[in-house]
Amino acid sequence: MFNKTTIQGAYFALTAYIFWGVLPIYFKSLDHVSPLEILIQRVLWSVVLLLIILFVTKQLDKLIIPRKKLGMLFLCAVLLSTNWLIFIFAILNNNIVETSLGYFINPLFSVFLGMIFLGERLRPLQWLAVFIAMAGILLQLVYFGAFPWIALSLAITFGVYGLIRKKLGIHSIAGLTLETLMISPFAILGLIWIYFQGEMKFLQIDLQTDLLLVSAGFITSIPLLCFAAAITRLSLTASGMFQYIAPSLSLVIAVTLYSEPFGIDRIITFTCIWIALFIFTAETVYHHRRKKQRGLA
C-alpha cells in the first residue's frame, strides 16, 4: 500500500511532467514572436515570479550562497538559457518530435556523465542500454544522413546543467532565481536591441500576445515547484519513472496535433531509445529491490 506522502508525491510529479509535456502548445501559440524574444521574456518574467514565490514562502535567505559557487552557477545559467532557446527554436520550426527525442536521451546521457565525473559504475545491463541508444543515433546519422543535433543539444545542455547543479547542492527554486537574475542583464540588453530593430512584439500587437509572454514566468515556475515537491516525497527510482511522461506527451502532440513527420529513420531511433530505457529502468528497479531485500535479510 502507498502511504499518503507517496500519493501526494505522485500527484505533484504527474502535474509537473504533464505541464512540461504540453509546453509545445504554449510556445506554438507564440509562433509570431521570435525565439529570442520569447526566451528574453521567459527569463525576465521568471525572475519576477520566482522572487515573489521566495518572498511569500519566506525563503529569500536561500539566495545567499558562497561566492566560490557563483562562477559555476553562472555557467548553469548559460546552459539553461541555451537549452531554453534551442527548445523554443525547435518548436517554432516544427521539430517537436526531435525535442521529445532529446528528453528521452537525457536520462541515459546523465548516467554517462555520472560515470565520467562522479565515479559511478554501470552494471552490464546498463551498458547494454547505453550501447543500444547510441546505435539508434548512429544509425540515423550513417544510414539516413540525418544528425539529430537538436535532440543531442537538448540532452547535452540539460544533462551537464543537471550534473553541475547536483554538485553545487543549491536550493532548487533559489538556484533557478539566481540563474535567471544572472542572465537578466543580458536579457534586458537583448530586449533593447530587439526594440530598436523594430522586431519587438511585446506591447506592440495585442493583449493576447502580451498575456502569453507574461505567462512565461508562470510556465517556468509552476512545474518546477511541483517537481521540487515531488522529489521530497518520492524515492529516486519512483521519481525517475515519471520523467518519460513529458517527452511522450510532446511526441503525441507533435504527430497528432501538428502533423510532424515521423518517418522510418525516427521510428528506428525512437525504438532503440525506448528499448534502452526499458532495459535501464527495469534493471534499476530490479537492482533496488534486490538491495532492499538484502538489507532486510
> Distance of alpha carbon 245 from its chain centroid, rounded?
12
Give me 172's grid cell.
Answer: 532548487
Query: Would you kindly state where each structural domain of the chain is located, as residue ranges?
Result: 4-104+146-234+243-261
Condensed to tens digits (0 to 9), the pLDDT of residues 103-147 reads 888 887 887 787 788 777 778 888 888 888 888 888 777 766 777
- Mean pLDDT (the chain) is 87
Q: What is the pLDDT of residue 296?
A: 54
Condensed to tens digits (0 to 9), the pLDDT of residues 81-102 reads 999 999 999 999 999 999 998 9
pLDDT above 90 for 173: no
DSSP 232-291: TTS-HHHHHHHTTHHHHHHHHIIIIIS-----HHHHHHHHHHHHHHHHHHHHHHHHHHHH
**Residue 172: which H helix or E strand, with range?**
helix 172-196
